[in-house]
Amino acid sequence: MTDTLEIAGETLHSRLILGTAGYPTQRILVDAVEASGCEMVTVSIRRISLTGHGSDTVSLLAGKRFLPNTAGCETARDAILTAELAREALGTNWIKLEVIGDRETLYPDVSELLSATEQLVEMGFVVLPYCNDDPVICQRLADIGAAAVMPMGSLIGSGMGVANPANLELICRRSQVPVIVDAGIGTASDAVIALELGAAAVLLNTAVARANDPVAMAHAMRHAVEAGHHAHRAGRIPRRQRAEPSSPQLGLVGS
C-alpha cells in the first residue's frame, strides 16, 4: 500500500491484523499469516503457551509483532492482571483490551471496559479496546487515552459483516484515533465495506481460521483491505434514485 497506518507513534504497512486461534493445523496458521501480509497478530494470553517450546504460537510466528489480548476476562481487575502478565511474558506494553459482559453475545461490559482502559493507560499501556459500535463510547475511550478504538462489526465469530454501517461511518468520521473494526467479518467483501466506511484497519480471526481454505482467504483479505482503503480515499459517487447515462446524449446518430 502507498501509505501507512499509525498507532501510538508506531507505523504499520498492513491494515490487516490477524488472530491466531482455531486454525486446523499450525502449518496452516503460519501459511495464512504469511499470505495475509499482516505485520501484527493477536494472541490470547489465557490460552497460548508461553513456555518457549517449539510448538507454541510465539515461536511459530517469530518476527511478527504480537498484540496480546485479554480474551475471557469479565472484570476490569482480571483484564488488568492479564495485561500485566502479557507485558511480562511478551515484552510489550500494547494490549487489546476485552472485558466481556455477556457470555451469549460476547458484548463488552462498558463500565468495566472504561475503568480498565483508564487504569491501564495510567500504567503505561498502549490500549486498544474492543467495544460496541457506539459513537459515544468510542469517544469516551479515546478521551481517556485509548490509542485506537475497536468497535464490533457484528457479533464475534458470527460472520455477519458490518451490521450497522451508519454507526460505523459516524464513529470513523468523528474519531481522533484510528478505528479498527473488530469482530463479525466473514469474507473479503465485509473487510472492503469496513475500510470504505473509513476504518483504519480490520482485525479478524474466524473468517480466515474457519474458511474452507484459510490460506486462500487470508490472501483475499490482504487485497480486500487495500481495495477498501483506496476506495475510501478515492471517494464513491453519490447514490441516485434514477439512471444517469455515462455518455452524452447530444450528437447521437439520428437525433
The percent of the chain in helix, strand and coil, each rounded to the nearest 5, is 40, 20, 45
**Residue 193 CB neighbour total at 10 angstroms:** 21
E strand or H helix at 38, and its extent?
none
In angstroms, the CA 154 to CA 134 distance is 12
In angstroms, the CA 211 to CA 154 distance is 18
Locate cell 467495544: which residue?
131
Contact partners, residue 43, CB within 8 Å, separation at least 6: 20, 57, 58, 66, 67, 68, 69, 90
Is 64 a known active-site residue?
no
In angstroms, the CA 43 to CA 40 distance is 10
Choose, from 96, 219, 222, 232, the residue flagged as catalytic: 96
Shortest CA distance to 69 belongs to which of 100, 38, 39? 100
What is the DSSP annotation of 113-171?
HHHHHHHHHHTT-EEEEEE-S-HHHHHHHHHTT-SSBEE-SSSTT-----S-HHHHHHH
State the catalytic residues: 96
